[in-house]
Amino acid sequence: MQTLGRLLFRLRSFTPIPLIILLIIFAHPSRLSFSVGFIVVILGELLRIWAVGYAGAATRTRSMGAARQLVTTGPYAYVRNPLYLGNFFLSLGVCIISGVYWMIPIFLLGYIFQYLPIILSEEAHLCQECGKIYGEYYVNVPRLIPQIHPYANRSEHDFSLRRAIKSEKRTFIAIVSVIAFVISKTLWR
């Protein structure tokens, strides 16, 4: 599982491409689907901005060993994988915007297939790298469903909006491009 997780981690930017192509081909957005989906996309992107504002550019690497310090503050005080949760909302929002609702179960299966091995591999890596510190964090903070109360032993990382915007530039461009392609389908009719 760790080998698969490391491979999917390196390929995580490319694996959604076939699903995105299908969404664009079959897109039939409506005002309602756009409105609801756009709110979900914004939620996902705000969560990602909040997370990378603390974690920084280490989240953009292709190697799991890039992050040297465990971030346990900001969104990481509520959920261990806020970026992957943000990705979930981004992708779900695009599915809703496109109006291709039959893609939602396919997206959910793809999400589980991709992110579960990545998360398990990252957890093993962090356990090995951070030892007891990660063990305590692992026990007290849920993997993907945020908890109400923040983790008590938060790290000293600070939030930087500049760092977040710089790190999220590619994600933002990709999301805007996909949404533009989906919306443009209504113009071709």
Q: Domain spans of the chain? A: 2-188
d(CA 177, CA 174): 5
* Residue ranges of the chain with per-residue pLDDT less than 70: 1, 8, 57-68, 187-189
pTM higher than 0.95 for the full model? no
Q: What is the pLDDT of residue 12?
A: 75
What per-residue confidence (pLDDT) applies to 17?
86
User: For residue 96, what are the contacts with CB-CB under 8 A and spacing of at least 6?
Assistant: 33, 36, 37, 40, 104
Q: Domain 2-188 has what CATH class?
A: mainly alpha
Confidence (pLDDT) at 62: 46
Those residues with Cβ within 8 angstroms of residue 61's Cβ, 6 or more apart along the chain or in another chain: 67
pLDDT digits (tens, 9 = 90+) for 28-59: 999 999 999 999 999 999 999 999 999 886 65
- pLDDT score of 30: 92
Residue 151 DSSP class: P
Helix (DSSP H) and strand (DSSP E) numbers for the chain: 7, 0
Torsion of CA 34, 172, 83, 42, to 10 degrees: -30
Residue 185 has a pLDDT of: 73
Rounded to a whole number, what is the distance in angstroms from the first to the last CA of the chain?
45
Question: Which pLDDT score is estimated for 63?
Answer: 47
Single-letter residue type at 151: Y
